[in-house]
Amino acid sequence: MTAMLQAIFFDLDGTLADTARDLVEPIQAMRADRGLGPLPFEALRPFASMGARGLILRGFGVERDDDDFAALRDEFLARYEQAMLVHTRLFEGMDTVLDALDDAGIRWGVISNKVERYVRPIVEGLGLGARSVCAIGGDTTPFAKPHPEPLLHGARLAAVDPACSVYVGDDLRDIEAGRAAAMRTVAAAYGFCGVSAAPAEWGADHLIETPLQLLAELGIARATSAAASISMGKVPKA
């Protein structure tokens, strides 16, 4: 028996929005200040999935337990906070996806591991604040993903059943969190995706290569108001 699709929740970085340039540029500037040359953008992009920790690891070879990590993290975050929306944009096609969800009466929100004081300005800056049912950060609840609590909190704010909801993310921990919250999961292979297992190996219910594929995977038509006809039945991949 299929369940009515009530809500879709998105990870922010690498899923809803392409934030990579704004995350990478502080690392490049920090390297330049230390007399180090720039790293290729494509070498840094996958590490953006892990936030400051991953970018500092790739940019400087410094782990979270190393003595230099805290200072590098604080410098990175200070630089990033001053320029979070220079290059950040919705991924191509995501505006069409969100319009389709609004038209179908399907609620949607943003659930990130980025701290809330960064999540909210980005959601607002992208013009989504009035449309999103939530903008949850990694510190909004006592737990961050892969714990299910941020997703369950989002479902409570949206007044929806987690079992009638979907979580879309570009990292293994997103899929783990969605599964733990009893939500259907979608792996966004177009995102940053980290440097461990490939998205096809995460065990997600669906795998998409572009944002627009989400509509086909979940059986959501563009520009339709027939929300009652939408179900969470799994759509076979082409």
Look up 139 and say whether it is catalytic.
no
Name the phi and psi angles at 193, rounded to 5.
70, 5
Domain ranges of the chain: 7-18+88-229, 20-81
d(CA 71, CA 86): 24
Between 169 and 224, name the one with better pLDDT.
Answer: 169
Here the tokens at position 108 are 């949607």
d(CA 137, CA 117): 8
Per-residue pLDDT of 172-182, as tens digits, reads 999 999 999 99
d(CA 150, CA 155): 9
Query: Do residues 19 and 85 make contact, with C-beta atoms less than 8 angstroms apart?
Result: no
Per-residue pLDDT of 14-72, as tens digits, reads 999 999 999 999 999 999 999 999 999 999 999 998 899 999 999 999 999 999 999 99
Long-range contacts of 192-198 (CB under 8 A, 24+ apart): 192/13, 192/14, 192/20, 192/45, 192/46, 192/47, 192/48, 192/49, 193/14, 193/46, 193/49, 194/46, 194/47, 194/49, 194/50, 194/54, 194/170, 195/46, 195/47, 196/172, 197/172
pLDDT averaged over every residue in the chain: 93
Whether residue 98 is predicted with pLDDT greater than 90 in this model: the reply is: yes
Helix (H) or strand (E) holding 206: strand 206-208
CA 161 to chain centre: 21
What would the DSSP string read from start to end of 132-165? -S-EE-TTTSS--TTSSHHHHHHHHHHT--GGGE
Q: Return the number of other C-beta atoms located less than 10 Å from residue 174's C-beta.
A: 31
Q: Would you place residue 13 in the very low, low, confident or very high pLDDT band (cuts 50, 70, 90)?
A: very high
Q: Return the number of other C-beta atoms located less than 10 Å from residue 3's C-beta.
A: 13
Per-residue pLDDT of 145-157, as tens digits, reads 999 999 999 999 9
Class of the CATH-defined domain 7-18+88-229: alpha beta
Here the tokens at position 226 are 């027939």
pLDDT of residue 107: 98
State the DSSP code for 124.
H
Q: Structure pTM?
A: 0.91
Look up 13 and say whether it is catalytic.
yes
| Percent of the chain surpassing pLDDT 70 | 92
